[in-house]
Amino acid sequence: MRRKLSLAFTIFIGAISVILALIFAAIRSGLVQ
């Protein structure tokens, strides 16, 4: 179970990182003000 939680946390961190990277890139490039 702890191992499943580790995988879930990995996926969560990966997903959050990609989403934030997309948001920040959109802001930095002026797509989103």
Partner 1 sequence: MKKRSLIKGIGWGVLYLFLTVAPLFVMLVSPAPGQREFWRELSVSFGFVGLSMMALQFVLTARFQWLKSPYGSDVVYLFHRQISIVAFLLIISHPILLFVFSPSTVSLLNIFTAPWRARAAVVSVLALLGLIGFSIWRKTLKLDYYTWRIWHGIFAILAVGMALIHIELVGYYLNTPWKKILWLVYAVFWIGLLLYTRLLKPLWIMRRPYIVVDVQEERGNAWTITLKPDGHQGLRFHPGQFAWINIRSSPFSEKEHPFSFSSSSENTETISFTIKALGDFTKTIKDISVGERVYVDGPYGSFSIDNHDHAKAFMFIAGGVGITPMMSMLRALSDRQDSRPLTLIYANRDWESITFREELESLKRTLNLNVVHVLEQPPHGWNGKTGYINRDLLEGLLPSGIQKNDLEIFICGPIPMMNAVDGILGSMKFWPGDYHSERFDLV
Q: Please give the residue ranges that form the binding site for partner 1 (CB under 8 A).
A: 1-3, 5-7, 9-10, 13-14, 16-18, 20-22, 24-31
In angstroms, what CA-CA distances link 7 with 17, 19, 20? 15, 18, 20
Least Å distance, CB 31 to partner 1, is: 6
Burial class (CB within 10 angstroms; exposed 0-12, middle 13-18, buried 19+) of 15: exposed
Least Å distance, CB 5 to partner 1, is: 8
Least Å distance, CB 23 to partner 1, is: 8
